[in-house]
Amino acid sequence: MKNMRLMTTIFIFAVLASCSTKDADKPEFLEFRLHRSVALKGGEILVIRRVGKEWEAMLMGDERRFSCQYQKEVTPRSDWGQVWDTIIAKGLRDISNASDARSVEDGDVFFGEFTEKEKFSRFSIANPDLSESESAKKLLDISNYLSKEFGTPVFSTEMNNPDIGAYLINECKEIKK
C-alpha cells in the first residue's frame, strides 16, 4: 500500500514538473490590435505582435464603399521595445469601454484588443473625441502616437471622416499598382 502511494506521488510530481517545463518553454506573446472605423467609409486595423523576441506589425485597411481592402507590413520609426513601453506608459492596460460620448451621425469608433501574459482585454469607444472619459483620452493619446510611429494618418485625431475615406481609397490604389 505504501509503495502504491509512493508511486502515485512520484507520478503526480512528474506530471506537474513536465507541465511547468512546457509553460517555461512557451515564448512570451504580446499583441495589441487597434481598429478605427468611420461610418460608411471603413477604417484601418493596426496589429502589433511579439512572439518571443520577434516583433511584427501589420496594417490592414478596408474602404467599404468601393470594396477596397489592403494589407501591408509596417515597422515603427522608433525601436519596437520603445513603442511598446510608450503605449503601456500612456495607459493601454487601463483602457476600458466608454459610452459617455454623444451619438453623432457618421461618427467613428475605436475597437481594441490587448493580450499580455495570457491576459486578454477588449474595449470599444465610440466618438472618443467627444468623450470626457479617461479611457477615451488615453486611447486618443495612444492612437496619435501610433499614427506617427507607423506612418498612417487614420489613427490621428487630426484626420476627419471625409479625409479618412479619401486616404483609404488612395492607399488601395497605391498597393494595387
Contact 44, 154 (CB under 8 A): yes
With CA atoms as reference, report the closest residue to 30 among 13, 49, 16.
Answer: 49
The pLDDT of residue 122 is 94
Q: How far apart are CA 48 and CA 38, in angstroms?
A: 21
The helix (H) or strand (E) run that includes residue 56 is strand 54-63
CA gap 11, 6 in Å, rounded = 9
Output the pLDDT for position 74.
93
Q: Categorize the per-residue pLDDT at 6 as very low, low, confident or very high, splitting at 50, 70 and 90.
A: very low
pLDDT bin (cut points 50, 70, 90) of residue 7 is very low
Question: From CA 123, how far away is CA 34, in angstroms rounded?
Answer: 10
Whether residue 142 has pLDDT greater than 90: yes
- The residues, any chain, with a CB within 8 Å of residue 91's CB and separated by 6 or more, are 134, 138, 141, 142
pLDDT in tens, 15-57: 555 554 455 566 789 999 999 887 766 788 999 999 999 999 9
Instruction: List, for residues 98-127, the tens digit of each pLDDT value.
Output: 776 566 666 788 999 999 888 899 999 988
Greater confidence, 163 or 33?
33
Query: Domains of the chain by range and CATH?
Result: 29-176 (3.30.1560)
Which three cell numbers mark 152? 498612417
Residues 66-83: pLDDT tens digits?
Answer: 677 778 899 999 999 999
pLDDT at 58: 94
> Can you give the pLDDT at residue 63?
65
Q: Which of 40-49, 61-70, 154-163 has the highest mean pLDDT?
A: 40-49
Q: Work out the pLDDT band at 95, boundaries 50, 70, 90.
A: very high
* Cell output for 131: 468623450
User: What are the counts of helices (DSSP H) followed by strands (DSSP E) for the chain?
Assistant: 4, 6
**What local confidence, expressed as pLDDT, does residue 113 receive?**
94
